[in-house]
Amino acid sequence: MAHHLLSLEIPDILNECIFRVYDTSIYEPLIPKDCPTLEITPPGFVNPAVITTLAPNFTANITACDMGIQTANCSNYHNNLSDGVYIVRWSIAPNDKVFVEYNHLRISHALNKYNEALCCIQRSFGCDPSPEILKKIQQAQLIRTYLDAAKAEVEYCHHPKDGMTTYRYAMDLLQKLLCGCGCGEGCN
């Protein structure tokens, strides 16, 4: 029996005010694609933002305004979206039966901080880093591994709480690394 194979791709991006989603579904041409609905529940929210203006095979850059998180000055400025677990659901009619749902760990802020740390470390050495700089590079690599592990815990192992614990630990290590490089905000 022919049917749609729904699928989404939610890439990690550095733009903190955009949540990008691609529809990577395979649609059966002889079956209708009625009532397309994208639902996104941001971290800390219970009710999803419901977007019904997208057509199958979409690429969407969704903002805080689109999600209803930001309600003022949307034509001039977009607030950053927080890192954390977003629940993303894509469906078509009958929407209670034809859907796909994901837990997505957004790490845009973390990636920007990670890149900041790499730039800070890079400024400290030339082509032949000292043992102290090598240690900072290894620490940065470990932090990136923790971020990857957090995403895996949320998105593949389906353990969002464990993933967020790992994410917070990575962010603590990242803050210490930035402070150790002299580049962090809020360092003592």
pLDDT digits (tens, 9 = 90+) for 141-157: 999 999 999 999 999 99
The pLDDT of 150-167, averaged and rounded, is 98
Tell me what the mean pLDDT of segment 161-170 comes to.
98
Please give the pLDDT value at position 169: 98
Orientation of helix 160-181 relative to helix 108-122, angle to 10°: 30
Give the percent of the chain with pLDDT over 90. 84
Q: Any residues with CB less than 8 A from the CB of 25 and at least 6 apart, and which?
A: 4, 5, 6, 7, 8, 56, 57, 90, 100
At 98 the three-state DSSP class reads strand
What integer best gives the mean pLDDT of the chain? 93
pTM: 0.92
Structure tokens at 86: 């977003």
Confidence of residue 124 (pLDDT cuts 50, 70, 90): low
Virtual torsion, Cα 167, 173, 177, 178, nearest 10 deg:
50
Q: Cβ atoms within 10 A of the Cβ of 30, count?
A: 6
pLDDT tens digit sequence for 60-115: 999 999 999 999 999 999 999 999 999 999 999 999 999 999 999 999 999 999 99
For 131-142, the pLDDT digits (tens) are: 888 899 999 999
Q: What are phi and psi of 186, to 5 degrees?
A: 75, 20
Instruction: Average the pLDDT over 19-32 and give the result.
Output: 95
Percentage of the residues of the chain whose pLDDT score is greater than 70:
95
